[in-house]
Amino acid sequence: MKKVLVRKNAYYDSVFLMLAAKAVKRLPGIQEAAVVMGTDVNLELLKGIGFFSGETALPKPNDLVIAIEGDPPEAVEEACRIAEETLKKKRERAGEDQEYQPVSLDGALKILPEANLVVISVPGPYAAREARRALKKGLHVMLFSDHVSVEDEVDLKERASEKGLLMMGPDCGTAIINGKPICFANVVRRGGIGLVAASGSGLQEVTCCIDRMEGGISQALGTGGRDLQDPRVRGRMMLLGIEALKHDPETRVIVVLSKPPAEESAAAVLSRLEETGKPCVVQFLGRKPLERRGAVWFSGNLEETAAMAVALSRGETPSPPFRSLSEEELSRTAETEAANMSRSQRYVRGLFAGGTLALETMFLFEQEGFKIRSNMAKGPGQALQSPHRSEGHTLLDLGDDVFTLGRPHPMIDPSLREERIAQEAADSETALLILDVVLGYGAHEDPCGSLAESIGKAKALVAARGGYLSVVASITGTEKDFQNRTEQKKKLESAGCLVMPSNTQAALLAVHIMKKAAQRWM
Amino acid sequence: MVSAHSSAVNVLHSRGLLVSFVQETRAMTTLSVCVPALFRKPPGKLSPGEWVLFDGHRMVAKDVAVVLLGRPTWQGKLLRAHVKGLSAWKLSLLKRALLIKARDGGLLGLLRTDQRGNPFVEKARQGLRHTTLSSLVGLGPGSTPSGDDFITGVLLGEEALKQGPAAGAKAVAENQKTVIPWPLEKEALGAALNRTNDAGKTLLWQALQGNFPGYLIEMLRSLSAAEGPEDVARVVERSVSCGETSGADALTGFLLFLQGRL
Amino acid sequence: MDVKKIHELFGKELKVINLGLASFAENLRKEKVHVLHMDWRPPAGGNKRLISLLDKLDQR
């Protein structure tokens, strides 16, 4: 029996082809085997000896032809099978003498075909492209990179929505999926509260507070900072996330968190939440909380968001916010702190690594009538002449581009903040420093170590001038985070820092202290 | 991209010609570039079937970018210096060594008048008998068909004669009975190029322009410089190590062309 | 909005491909997540024009 195999556009080196031909010829029952290119004259020859009889579709010169003749037919089939195998193996092994390191998504998928999530933190100009390819392959995406254009973001989220895939980002730093922290995230208890957030540090803070209050997280999805803020993005990822949590049996309460949203996006989100049929908590930072609408509750600060969610997850009605210090205790502490300040010390200086935490503090101060200047400021009266020089009450997001160009983010490297602490301590008008410390994956392994030292030095400097520097901090983290929250807290406290259980409470204490300080000189 | 081997990567140019990126200058053919860096620790993996872009001085694939600027390429022109020491005696030594050292399988059988049974050799003999060299285009086994290597050897022989000291040899040859027909009908060869695959096409097209693969130029140069049977044997060994039968086929063509002419 | 694929993700073990910062992959491993870290390089040596050409070819 004669049989012919054709491999289109195949190119193997001659040595291999010869060996393959020899190997096939040696097989039992095989009389003749030729491995040749499908050139005109070769085909002529093969036809002349009985191959390709009656075939209409003939191979081309660049096709590889394996012509096998033998008896019985089974032997020929077997020989064909072996020939195919040999060629396939050779193709796969091409270039394998070096260790294979995937440098492209396709290569990676060959090694890990069951991949379901791609985490992208490559430089901005390339990030969108990689995200697009991942979506094309049907993979969910976490896009940590920023400096991705709005147009790209809209395109990516459209594609993701169409395919029902997660497109978390760009500029998404935090997510917790199936209990696993992704990028900058904390180890928290598993439970029934699902979150969708357009803010990384906000999501970290809320999930840690939930954990502290003995609640648990089902899923925490990030959307990237612009999702609700930019009207062009229209909250696409937020809406998809809410829909996913609506149908997730593990999720009993849905929490939505975002920096000040664009009007239509906010409206779309609220109506989608109402349709879920589950109790929801919404916090639009910087907006006064609205009245409750059916099962949708509105929160005024991060701690309250957590407290409401935990209560709802227990089937309880949210009650007044959780405080570790009563009004009285707050007052007393504030008195003590302000007591030894000198007359010149009039201003608060906030140095934050978490953008949302800085924002929350700013809004809380403003609600109490303070005029705050900041690098986050929108209004002209609030901007600083230079972000590197504080004026009056100043709250800074040190993670902002203007500070991090060429330097690591303050969550990763404390030196940027420590330099600024020294600078503020040297300023005789500084009364109070507010700091946030974020633990968990992605953060520094011992943020409070050197921070405590800087705080100690700063306090000593002011004391030597006859004044008193008050320092208030919060630690975003859980006991399960690898930095050991208890140890971190001790380090700060031993330097004279007041450590509050949440950013919200730190801000409230700071407000009290500043009021007391102002009152002293009236 | 057509194929990736441990020391060569072959890319099909949009014009239908095959460009080889090789690790060492020794392995260069016409239309090849020596880029050792590509083989040291490849920055990525090249997969057969992948598209490759040529941008001015750069070759770019999905995972790999290779700078070609300044990298050695190969012209492959035959120079007088390469053929200075050629003589009929050396050619007979060459033939003897070739028959001993070369593997069977290609068109080497053409040198053995007693060989029967190899359909490719038979077909080639027919072609030569009827004085159509172009009927050998695309003939035989190998990723570059044996016939193409053979014809390249013939063209090399012609070029060697042109450059050779024995200017009078041409006159002599015209009066002798030779194995390879004269003239070589270059036009017919050019027209037959589409009857073979890209590798063969590239090889023949370049040979028609007088550009030959590195190993063949090297073969002639060292044959010229050879002083005795041992030297010649070494020349043959090195040449037949190229490809499976490519070297042997080319040498067969070379010898058959010059037989009776030198 | 079809959220079937997201639910598939919720119900399964995470299998992650990481492009970019190696520390993200290391951290996932500490949490016992199966992650493959890629040695990502800018494609086409970073040349934008070439990248867009490669993309067009991809779509063939």
Q: How far is B51 from chain C (nearest CA, A)?
A: 7
Contact assignment for A180 to C21 by CB distance below 8 Å: no
- Answer whether residue B55 shows pLDDT above 70: no
Per-residue pLDDT tens for B141-171? 888 899 999 999 999 988 888 776 554 455 4
Among residues 268-327 of chain A, which lie with CB inside 8 Å of chain C?
none
ipTM of the complex in this document: 0.90
Return the minimum-mean-pLDDT range out of A212-226, B22-36, B86-100.
B22-36
pLDDT in tens, chain A (522 residues): 888 888 887 777 777 777 788 888 888 888 888 888 888 888 988 888 888 887 778 888 888 899 999 988 888 988 988 888 887 766 554 433 223 446 678 878 877 889 999 999 887 778 899 999 999 999 999 999 888 999 999 999 999 999 999 999 999 999 999 999 999 999 999 999 999 999 999 999 999 999 999 999 999 999 999 999 999 999 999 999 999 999 999 999 999 999 889 988 999 999 999 999 999 999 999 888 888 999 999 999 999 999 999 999 999 998 866 677 788 999 999 999 999 999 999 999 999 999 999 999 999 999 999 999 999 877 777 889 899 999 999 999 998 888 877 677 888 888 889 999 999 999 999 999 999 999 999 898 899 998 999 999 999 999 999 999 999 999 999 999 999 999 999 999 999 999 999 999 999 999 999 999 998 876
- The three-state secondary structure class of A66 is strand
Residue of higher predicted confidence among B5 and C19:
C19
- Answer whether residue B130 shows pLDDT above 80: no
Q: Which residues pair with A217 in a beta bridge?
A: A193
Cβ(B258)–Cβ(B178) below 8 Å:
no
Among residues 5-34 of chain C, which lie with CB inside 8 Å of chain A?
5-10, 12-21, 23-25, 27-28, 30-31, 33-34
For chain B, give the mean pLDDT: 76
pLDDT for res A480: 95
Tell me which residue in A102, A165, A181 faces C38 most closely, judged by beta carbons.
A102
- The three-state secondary structure class of A167 is strand
* B53 close contact with C: CB closer than 8 A: yes
pLDDT for res A96: 35
pLDDT for res A100: 41
pLDDT for res C60: 47
pLDDT for res B191: 86
Tell me which residue in A18, A48, A100 faces B244 most closely, judged by beta carbons.
A18
Chain A residues whose CB is inside 8 A of the B120 CB are: 45
Q: A14 — phi, psi (to 5°)?
A: -60, -35
Nearest in space to A337 (alpha carbons), one of A452, A207, A469, A456: A469
Tell me which residue in B63, B140, B141 faces A107 most closely, judged by beta carbons.
B63
pLDDT for res B67: 62
Chain C residues whose CB is inside 8 A of the B67 CB are: 45
> Among all residues of chain B, which has the CA nearest to that of C60?
B51
pLDDT tier for residue B194 given thresholds of 50, 70 and 90: confident
* A188 close contact with C: CB closer than 8 A: no
Report how far Cα C6 is from the mean position of its chain's Cα atoms: 17
Among residues 85-104 of chain A, which lie with CB inside 8 Å of chain C?
101-104
Chain C residues whose CB is inside 8 A of the B55 CB are: 47, 49-50, 53
Q: Answer left, alpha or beta for residue B260, where phi above 0 means left and psi between -120 and 50 means alpha.
A: left
Cα dihedral A245, A251, A253, A258 sign:
negative
* B5 close contact with A: CB closer than 8 A: yes
> Among all residues of chain A, which has the CA nearest to that of C12?
A178
pLDDT in tens, chain C (60 residues): 789 999 999 989 999 999 888 889 889 999 999 998 886 766 655 666 666 766 666 654
Among residues 10-49 of chain B, which lie with CB inside 8 Å of chain C?
43-44
Cβ contacts below 8 Å, chain B against chain C, sum to 32
Q: A276 — phi, psi (to 5°)?
A: -70, -25
Q: What chains are in contact with C, requiring at least 3 Cβ pairs below 8 Å?
A: A, B
pTM over 0.90: no
Q: Strands (DSSP E) along B165-258, which ranges?
A: none
Burial class (CB in 10 A: 0-12, 13-18, 19+), B100: exposed
Q: How far is A238 from chain C (nearest CA, A)?
A: 12
In percent, how much of chain B has pLDDT > 90?
8
Contact assignment for A119 to C2 by CB distance below 8 Å: no
- Answer whether residue B99 shows pLDDT above 90: no
